[in-house]
Amino acid sequence: MKYYDKLIFELSRPGRKGYELPEDKYGCDALKDMPADLLRKDTPELPEVSELDVVRHYTNLSSKNFGVDTGFYPLGSCTMKYNPKINEEVAAMPEFAGLHPLQPAESAQGALELYYNLQHALANIAGLAEFTLNPYAGAHGELTGLMVMRQYHLSRGDEKRRKVIVPDSAHGTNPASAMVAGLEVVEVKSKPNGSIDVEDLKPLLDDTVAGIMMTNPNTLGMFETEIMEIAKLVHEAGGLLYYDGANLNPMLGKVRPGDMGFDIMHINLHKTFSTPHGGGGPGSGPVGVAAHLVDLLPNPRVKKGEDGKFYIENGDKSLGSISSFLGNFGVMMKAYAYILSLGKENLKNVGPMATLNANYIKESLKDDYLLPIEGACKHEFVFDGLKDKSTGVTTLNVAKRLLDYGFHAPTIYFPLLFHESMMIEPTETESKETLDEFIEVMHKVAKEARENPEMVKNAPHTTLISHPDETTAAKKPILTYRQMKG
Ligand SMILES: *Cc1c(COP(=O)(O)O)cnc(C)c1O
């Protein structure tokens, strides 16, 4: 272990300085006109460190971060795919990055054109009429889409439609967004194979239904084969279909949510369209709608005039504004660069490659890990922990042990349908060599679990922190120097 690998947070030494401001210019002299009550009485309690201490501290911290750029990241339900560097270069172009959101539209034609074109590209990919790129993330897109759904029913005087049907396998944001949008959540059961139980759905469809939220492929990575039947039933009952686009990756350019009968959807640009999102953002959750819902989309919108010029418009039937200005523009630039650099033909290869990679891992590991749902999956799949449960080695133990081998853990304990869920999504950007390495390590961990279960239960053995109290770490994180000092 190198000396800086130790967890030293306290680097401060009394009197050590990194930089000193000249007294005459910024010191006491300059402050003499400042009202006395605004002046601080005591020296601020800041770490006393040299410039080199600071540089090493932050540079070393940055190298402790795991990311797609440093290793394999099989996190399911998140599409942590590699983000080509050209996307970053494009997003950093000063002509775009330096724009001010209040600048007149005439002086920001390029940015508006990009917004407009991306909106159209997504509409084409989704099979829907129009998109807003304003929402900041998937969950924000869900909220926006559900507001469209509610507004649609209200605008028709159909006030009692408040029920949103959500499958029991759904991502937690789905019911949460419905609640925030002022709607009520009703759960529909999944069949043993993970798809929606149509027989359980039928009795829920009455004149209080606002709509249904689904994702296809579903949270288990399986394609909902009865989607056309479900769409027909929900539409006949007067409801709308909402598509959670977090699982759009395997469908890209092949199958369109609009063609499956969906009326509203969000896309996670930071998942399907390659923006890195490990640190919680920035994201972008564009929302697309079918033709009859376009007027309800949020303001402001970007339009193209007869003269070919782009302008910003506020529609009067709109549900209002849901973000400041037009959303996270940098993320849009990356998505646009990604779509254009792949092109229409290559975009169609994303899904099949992601699907092939997921099935390859699944089939290679199902002798050691419990596969609750047999058959071809799409871009991801779920194991229900180790096949051999007699050792007491859990999904959490396996996930922690993977860290010792330099892999990021898969998504664990989601979906909630199984007790030991381990959700794996390799994405299309990984080579066969990386997949083989991962498979080999997963087999090795299964063998270790049989031969030396205690060692696996105490993993990880090589990371700086091994078993933090995760609840306290999440609820009472120590984020500042002052907190650290107690
Ligand atoms: C990630 C995800 C969401 C939420 O998206 P955010 O961009 O994280 O807000 C919703 N549904 C599913 C299935 C997801 O995987």
328 within ligand 1 shell (Cβ under 6 A)? no
pLDDT for 65-78, tens place per residue?
Answer: 888 888 999 999 88
pLDDT for 80-127, tens place per residue?
Answer: 999 999 999 999 999 999 999 999 999 999 999 999 999 999 999 999
171 within ligand 1 shell (Cβ under 6 A)? yes
| Cβ-proximal residues to 289 (8 Å cutoff; 6+ apart), any chain | 128, 129, 130, 131, 145, 148, 263, 264, 296, 297
Angle at 66 between CA 419 and CA 426, to 5 degrees: 55
pLDDT value, residue 85: 94
Ligand 1 centroid distance, CA of 126 (Å):
17
Q: At what angle do helices 329-365 and 432-451 cross, to 10 degrees?
A: 50
Residue 325 C-alpha from the chain's centroid = 22
More confident residue, 41 or 428: 428
Q: If DSSP codes are grouped into helix, strand and coil, which group holds residue 255?
A: coil
In whole angstroms, give the CA distance from residue 295 to residue 309: 21
pLDDT value, residue 32: 75
Pocket test for ligand 1, best of 268, 269, 275, 423 (most atoms within 8 A of CB): 268
285 within ligand 1 shell (Cβ under 6 A)? yes
Tell me the two tokens of residue 12.
Answer: 């401060």
- Neighbour tally for 199: CB within 10 Å: 9
Q: Which of 167, 379, 82, 84 is nearest to 252 (CA)?
A: 379
Identity of the residue numbered 367: D
- Report the range of poorest mean pLDDT among 81-95, 259-273, 278-292, 396-410: 278-292
Domain ranges of the chain: 99-347, 351-463
Does residue 5 register a pLDDT over 70? no
What fold does the segment set 351-463 form as a domain?
Aspartate Aminotransferase, domain 1 (3.90.1150)
Ligand 1 centroid distance, CA of 414 (Å):
13
Q: Which of 237, 244, 228 is nearest to 166 (CA)?
A: 244
Which range of 5-19, 20-34, 146-160, 458-472 scores highest in mean pLDDT? It is 146-160
pLDDT value, residue 225: 93
Q: What is the mean pLDDT of residues 21-30?
A: 68
173 within ligand 1 shell (Cβ under 6 A)? yes
Pocket test for ligand 1, best of 214, 244, 382 (most atoms within 8 A of CB): 244
Does residue 426 register a pLDDT over 80? yes
Res. 325 pLDDT band, cuts 50 70 90: very high
Does residue 383 register a pLDDT over 70? yes
Please say whether the beta carbons of 187 and 166 come within 8 A. Answer: yes
More confident residue, 53 or 65: 53
249 within ligand 1 shell (Cβ under 6 A)? no
DSSP code per residue over 15-76: T--S----HHHHSTGGGTTS-GGGS-SS--------HHHHHHHHHHHHHT---TTTS---BT
DSSP state of 189: P
Residue 402 backbone zone (phi > 0: left; psi -120 to 50: alpha; other: beta): alpha
Please say whether the beta carbons of 409 and 400 come within 8 A. Answer: yes
pLDDT value, residue 223: 93
Does residue 3 register a pLDDT over 60? no
pLDDT value, residue 212: 98
77 within ligand 1 shell (Cβ under 6 A)? yes
DSSP state of 427: -
| Cβ-proximal residues to 76 (8 Å cutoff; 6+ apart), any chain | 221, 380, 381, 382, 410, 411, 414, 423, 424, 425
Q: What is the mean pLDDT of residues 260-275?
A: 95
Res. 484 pLDDT band, cuts 50 70 90: low
Q: Is the peptide bond before 282 cis (omega within 30 degrees of 0)?
A: yes
pLDDT value, residue 434: 97
Residue 203 C-alpha from the chain's centroid = 33
380 within ligand 1 shell (Cβ under 6 A)? no
Ligand 1 atom nearest residue 79's Cα: 15
Residue nearest ligand 1's atom 8 by CA: 138
246 within ligand 1 shell (Cβ under 6 A)? yes
Tell me the two tokens of residue 124.
Answer: 């084409």
Q: Is the peptide bond before 415 cis (omega within 30 degrees of 0)?
A: yes
Pick the CATH number of 99-347 from 1.20.1250.20, 3.40.640.10, 3.40.50.2300, 3.30.465.10: 3.40.640.10
- Name the H helices within 273-420: 329-365, 395-404
Q: What is the mean pLDDT of residues 133-162?
A: 97
pLDDT for 202-252, tens place per residue?
Answer: 999 999 999 999 999 998 899 999 999 999 999 999 999 999 999 999 999
pLDDT value, residue 26: 65
pLDDT value, residue 424: 97
pLDDT value, residue 109: 97
Query: What is the rounded end-to-end Cα distance, in angstroms, of the chain?
Result: 28
pLDDT value, residue 67: 85
For 268, phi and psi rounded to 5 degrees? -95, 100
Please say whether the beta carbons of 54 and 17 come within 8 A. Answer: no
| Run of H or E residues at 441 | helix 432-451
pLDDT value, residue 365: 98
pLDDT value, residue 245: 96
In whole angstroms, give the CA distance from residue 319 to residue 289: 13
Please say whether the beta carbons of 222 and 195 come within 8 A. Answer: yes
pLDDT value, residue 143: 98
Q: Which of 439, 364, 428 is nearest to 405 (CA)?
A: 439
| Cβ-proximal residues to 158 (8 Å cutoff; 6+ apart), any chain | 238
268 within ligand 1 shell (Cβ under 6 A)? yes
Does residue 486 register a pLDDT over 90? no
Please give the share of the chain, as a percent, with pLDDT higher than 70: 94
pLDDT value, residue 278: 66
pLDDT value, residue 485: 63
Mean pLDDT score of the chain, rounded to an integer? Answer: 92
Q: What is the mean pLDDT of residues 380-399?
A: 97
Ligand 1 centroid distance, CA of 247 (Å):
9
Res. 57 pLDDT band, cuts 50 70 90: confident
Residue 461 C-alpha from the chain's centroid = 29
In whole angstroms, give the CA distance from residue 458 to residue 237: 53
Tell me the two tokens of residue 230.
Answer: 């479900």
Does residue 369 register a pLDDT over 90? yes
Ligand 1 centroid distance, CA of 457 (Å):
30
Give me the sheet containing 411-412, strands edge to edge: 381-384, 421-424, 411-412
